[in-house]
Amino acid sequence: MRLRNEALRTGRLLAWFDDERRKNQGLIFLVSGADDIDRLGRIEAACEAALERFGRDRFEWHDVADQTDLSSVDPLFDPSGLTRVEAAEFIDLDEEELLTVLGAATDRMRRLEPQLFPRAGGAVGSPAQGIQLLARDTELGRVEDELEVGHSVQLLAPRRSGKSSLMLELERRLAPASLYLDVERPYTPKHLAAHAAKLALGRSPLAAMEDADRRGWQAVLDDVLVELSRRGPGWSVLLLDEPQALLESIARSPMGGPEPALDVLRDISACCSSHGVRMVVAGSVDLHEVVRRRWDIRRLPGLFGELVPFRLSPLDTSTTELRSVLVGSGLVLDVGDASWLQAHVDLSLPYPAMRFLDGLVGEVRRRGSLTHAELDTELERFLDDTDAFRDIERRAIARAEESRDVLGATRRVLNRLVNDDAGTMPLTELQAEFEALGGQSGEHLSWFEATFPVVRQGSAVYLSARMFRQWWERQAGW
């Protein structure tokens, strides 16, 4: 693995100009020798197929003898809008994969987006936005379809799998008639309403809190939703991230209990309903199960009782997304590197994968290139030192303090999944492990599925993240 050689001078340029040729984007495929003849042919065919599919308006090809003298190609071309890649970077991708990687880039050129490929350092540690939000277009579309027909939606996925990023992208797409509220922090309903008023109405949080004291938090939230419904010509949407944290916060309060918690949900729902605002709630645990297990309540009130469940699949683990990230990060694969990556790195848990790749960029920059043995060493070092899985570990330790038996069952299940070649086990056997704990077995199972990157598929459950699997192995199963 090595860094892209952006100093290569010669290449084939795909350029996009706006109507007045004042703004442009360019993607140059740099070449270094005769082996690039075929590579360029495949790249051009893929780009042409993408342009055929998405529209070729204002795209043009140029041969560039010297990329330091682009004015000789077109005096109006602004090189600051140029992305440089090597034709050699795409050698092992098949036609469909090439079309996926390059098609997305041409689409971004047309929209004059400054970045054509996602990069490893682009969203490490914060919610991924825009181009950094990987492979979620289909799911975003399906959620939007549900909202379009008037439904409210509950997004379910394990932690660190990109729910918040997806919620923020939904907010962006549906702006201005959308509002995202991160409820994971220990909120009271009053805090929630004041925070919403700050974001949607520009009020100072203190003034909003005083207002909530005077008129009640429901009235403040109502103001927010009135404003939200006024913004859009059609429907508007309130996005609540991890609302179970709000319920648990209420449950733990001195006056807490099921009724106050349900009252809060009922009031939020009533506010939304009265202004035609739809809801998207996201969590690692099903809200229905939270109230059923905690308080034995069978039905959530109002819109919360009608949430359409939408389970986020693990991020696309095919090569294309990973390859897009490598292209965006300037990493070029040598022979056999693609197989190494396929075996060791995946984006199911984007955070650790992006952290690892970001570290690789620095290492390759420092050393010039990395052999397979060096890649192995880098991965081992990362898995030993990383805090990328700390969140999972912390949750597991907290649960272990409550029950050593849960930790034991967790360890047995994970060891079994890790030791299985395909990383799978029958669902019934997973359930049996937790049922054997008796008592709150359902809750423990639910916790397990929300905490670890495991996915149900038919009658089996499988470990969706290769990096987690290796990390678990390096931890020697705790």
**Chain contacts with other proteins (rule: CB under 8 A):** 8-12, 30-38, 40-41, 44, 63-66, 69, 72-73
Place of tokens 């207002």: 211
Q: In what order do the strands lie in the sheet with 178-182?
A: 178-182, 236-241, 277-283, 153-156, 308-311
Nearer to other proteins, 36 or 443 (CB): 36
Closest approach, Cβ 36 to other proteins, in A, equals: 5
* DSSP per-residue letters across 100-167: HHHHHHHHHHHTT-S-SS--GGGSTTS---GGGS-S-HHHHHHHHHHHHTT--EEEE--TTSSHHHHH
Half-sphere exposure of 102 (CA within 13 A, CB side): 31
> For residues 65 and 112, which CB has a smaller minimum distance to other proteins in the complex?
65
Q: What is the CA radius of gyration of the chain?
A: 25
CB of 73 or CB of 179, closer to other proteins: 73
Task: Find the angle CA(195)-CA(196)-CA(200) to the nearest 5 degrees.
Answer: 125
Q: Closer to other proteins at the Cβ: 31 or 375? A: 31
Least distance to other proteins from the beta carbon of 312, Å?
42
Minimum Å gap between C-beta 116 and other proteins is 21
**Rounded CA separation 323/272 (Å):** 42
Q: Is 458 left (phi over 0), alpha (psi -120 to 50) or beta?
A: left
- For residue 159 the two structure tokens come to 């932690």
**Displacement of CA 381 from its chain's centroid (Å):** 25
Residue nearer to other proteins on the CB measure, 31 or 197? 31
The CB-of-9 to other proteins minimum distance in angstroms stands at 5
Peptide bond into 176 cis (omega under 30): yes
Least gap, CB of 29 to other proteins (angstroms): 9
DSSP 186: -
The residue (of 15 and 239) whose beta carbon lies closer to other proteins is 15
Q: Supply the minimum distance, in Å, between the C-beta of residue 22 and other proteins.
A: 23
In the complex, least distance from residue 109 CB atom to other proteins, rounded to whole angstroms: 21
Nearer to other proteins, 44 or 435 (CB): 44
Distance (Å, rounded) from C-alpha 382 to C-alpha 288? 38
Q: Which is nearer to other proteins, 66 or 402 (CB)?
A: 66
Please report the DSSP string for 284-319 in residue order: SS-HHHHHHHHH------HHHHTPEEEEPPPPP-SH
- 8 Å CB contact between 382 and 405: no
Beta carbon nearer to other proteins, 39 or 416: 39
Smallest separation (angstroms) from other proteins to the CB of 47 = 13
Q: How far is the CB of 63 from other proteins (least distance, A)?
A: 5
Dist. CA 442–CA 294, nearest whole Å: 11
